[in-house]
Amino acid sequence: MRIEKDTLGEVKVPGHVYYGAQTMRAVVNFPISGLRLPRRFIKAQGIVKLAAARANGSLGLLGRRMCRAIEKAALEVIGGIHDSDFVVDVYQAGAGTSQNMNANEIIANRAIEVLGGKKGDYRLVNPNDHVNMAQSTNDTIPTSIYLSAHEAVREDLVPALMRLKTVLQSKAREFDRIVKAGRTHMQDAVPVRLGQEFSGYAESVALDLVRIQNAAKSLLALPIGGNALGTGINAHRRFRASVIREIGNITGIRFRSRKNLFEGIQNIYPVLELSASLRGLAVTLTKIANDIRLLCSGPRTGLAEIKLPAVQPGSSIMPGKVNPVMAEMLNMVCYQVMGNDTAIAYAIQASQLELNVMMPMAAHNLLSSLDILSRGIGAFTDKCTAGIEADAVRCREYAGATLAMATALNPLIGYAAAAEVSKEAYRTGKTVRAVAVEQGILDEKNAKRALDPDKLTRA
C-alpha cells in the first residue's frame, strides 16, 4: 500500500495501481453495481486529456517534459493499457467527478513514472493542476460521452444498419413474385406480394438510419473549454479553440465548440436526441422481429409463409422443435433500449441550474444501447434475415383464399353486395371467386381476370 493525500485527508491506495486517493474513495463509497463505463468511453477520456495537454503545452502552460509525459500516459489510456485501473462504478458521484479524477490520477501517476518518479509524487505531475488544467468534470465528461457515442454510431451501428437494409432489400427483390394474403387487424386483407412486405421493412430501416445519422450530428458540438459552468474560468483564452482543434487532429473528425457553453454544460441534449432516435429504431426492429415470428409460425399450425434458418434447438422437452430465436433475441434488445431511453430521459430532465449531475448513468445507458443494438442487429441479419426462405405454395394458397378478395368486386357490384359475397364464401368455405361465378356476377373468364391475386397487387 501507499499513502496518498487529498483535500479530505490521507487514503491508503494499493501500491501497484495508477489511480489515487479520490478514486480509492469512490471505490469504497460506491460499491453499487459492479458496472463500469465501457472501453469506448475510457478511450474518449484519454483523447480529451491528450488534447488538453497538447493545447496547454502549445500555449506555454505546461513544460515540454511534463507535457510529453502526460501525452504518453494519455496515449496508453487511449490504447487500453490501463483499463483495469478504471474502477469507478457507473452509479457514482454526480456529474462524474470520480470518473474524471480516475482518469486524471491514472495519467498523472503514469506520467510521474515516465519522468522517473514514484507513484503519488504529485510534485512532478499533479492530477488536478496539470492533467486537469483548464478543464472540469462538467465539460470533460459530456465531451467524452459525445466522442464515444459518435464513434459507436459511426463504426458499429451505421454499418450494422446498412447491412440489414441491404439484406432486406435483397429479400424484397427475391420475393417480389410471391403473392400472399395481406392481413390487417390480424384478419384477412387484400393480396400483397411478400417482396412488397419486405420492401416496407427495408425502407423503415433506411429511414431510421437517416434519423440516427442526423441525431449523431448533434454530438459534433463539444462543451470542452467551458470548464466549470461555461465561463472558461482558469483556462487560457485560446484554450477552447486549441483543444477542439487537437481533438479533431486526434480523431480525424471535424468537431466544433458548442454555440453557447452555458447551455452545453447545463444540459446534455445530444444524448437525449440520439437516444430518442435509437428508441425509434427499436420500435421499428420490434415490429420487424414480431412480423418474422408471425410469418414463420407453425410449421404445421401457423402461418408458415417463410422459413428461418435453424440455429438453435427450441425445446428441452419437445424433440425437433425449432424456435425463431434470433427474432426473440432482437425483441429483448429492443425492449432494453426502450428502457435505457426512459432512464436517459429522466436523467436529462433532472438538470438543475448550471449542471446535469446524472451524466455517468446517461452515458452508460446510451453506450449500452448503441452496443447491444449494433451486436443484436448484426446477429439477426446474418443468422436470420439473410437465410429466410419463402414457402411460395403456402403463400399462393392464402392469396387465393383471402375473403378480402371481394374488395375487387366493389367497382362492379358495390360495397354492400361484395360484402354479401364475402360472407357467403366464409359460410360455405368456398373462395370469393367461386361464389362470384356461382351467383352469376362474373363468368369464369372474367372472374379469373378480375380476381387475379397478382394483378391486384400491381394496381
CATH of the domain at 112: 1.10.275.10
Which stretches of the chain score pLDDT less than 70?
A: none
Q: Is residue 143 in a domain?
A: yes
Give residue 168's pLDDT: 98
Same-domain check for residues 24 and 125: yes
With a CB cutoff of 8 Å and minimum separation 6, the contacts of 50 are 70, 71, 74, 75, 78, 246, 250
Same-domain check for residues 115 and 264: no
Give residue 333's pLDDT: 98
The DSSP code for 219 is G
Closest-CA residue to 48 (of 149, 108, 106, 135): 135
Give residue 19's pLDDT: 98
Cα separation of 329 and 379, whole Å?
9
Residue type, 425: A
Give residue 23's pLDDT: 98
CATH of the domain at 311: 1.20.200.10
Structural domain tally of the chain? 3
Q: Is residue 397 in a domain?
A: no
Same-domain check for residues 323 and 408: no
Cα separation of 425 and 434, whole Å?
8
Q: Is residue 439 in a domain?
A: yes
Same-domain check for residues 72 and 221: no
Give how far Cα 231 sits from Cα of 132, 150, 265, Å.
16, 26, 10
C-alpha cell at 34: 459492479
SS3 at position 84: helix
Cα separation of 154 and 177, whole Å?
36
Q: Is residue 240 in a domain?
A: no
φ, ψ dihedrals at 389, nearest 5°: -120, 150
SS3 at position 257: strand
Decide which of 92, 114, 133 is a domain's last residue: 133
Catalytic option among 275, 315, 316, 351 = 315
Q: Is residue 54 in a domain?
A: yes
Give residue 25's pLDDT: 98
Same-domain check for residues 128 and 207: no
Give residue 27's pLDDT: 98
Closest-CA residue to 73 (of 105, 25, 101, 97): 105
Same-domain check for residues 294 and 359: yes
Task: Spell out the SS3 assignment of 24-67.
Answer: HHHHHHCCCCCCECCHHHHHHHHHHHHHHHHHHHHCCCCCHHHH
Q: Is residue 164 in a domain?
A: yes
Give how far Cα 17 sits from Cα of 9, 14, 47, 99, 405, Å.
19, 6, 21, 16, 74
User: Do residues 85 and 19 lie in contact, with contact meaning Cβ atoms separated by under 8 Å?
Assistant: yes
Q: Is residue 247 in a domain?
A: no
CATH of the domain at 406: 1.10.40.30
Same-domain check for residues 203 and 183: yes
Q: What is the DSSP string of 136-187?
A: -HHHHHHHHHHHHHHHHIIIIIHHHHHHHHHHHHHHHHHTTT-EEEEEETTE
User: Do residues 51 and 141 lie in contact, with contact meaning Cβ atoms separated by under 8 Å?
Assistant: no
> What does the pLDDT look like over 417-443, one tens digit per residue?
999 999 999 999 999 999 999 999 999
> What does the pLDDT look like over 128-153, one tens digit per residue?
999 999 999 999 999 999 999 999 99
Same-domain check for residues 294 and 157: yes
User: Do residues 130 and 123 lie in contact, with contact meaning Cβ atoms separated by under 8 Å?
Assistant: no
SS3 at position 10: strand
Report the predicted TM-score, pTM, of the whole model to 2 decimal places: 0.96
Decide which of 99, 133, 167 is a domain's last residue: 133
Active site residue 136: no
User: Do residues 233 and 354 lie in contact, with contact meaning Cβ atoms separated by under 8 Å?
Assistant: no
CB under 8 Å, gap of 24 or more: what pairs does 202-207 form? 202/165, 202/168, 202/169, 202/171, 202/172, 204/284, 204/287, 204/288, 205/161, 205/164, 205/165, 205/168, 205/284, 205/285, 205/288, 206/165
Cα separation of 353 and 25, whole Å?
27
Strands 306-307 and 256-257: unpaired
Active site residue 16: no
Peptide bond into 411 cis (omega under 30): no
Same-domain check for residues 223 and 110: no
Same-domain check for residues 379 and 432: no
Same-domain check for residues 386 and 452: no
Catalytic option among 33, 150, 170, 185 = 185
> What does the pLDDT look like over 53-112, one tens digit per residue?
999 999 999 999 999 999 999 999 999 999 999 999 999 998 999 999 999 999 999 999
Same-domain check for residues 123 and 164: no
Q: Is residue 239 in a domain?
A: no
Decide which of 114, 133, 152 is a domain's last residue: 133
Domain range for 298 is: 139-228+253-392
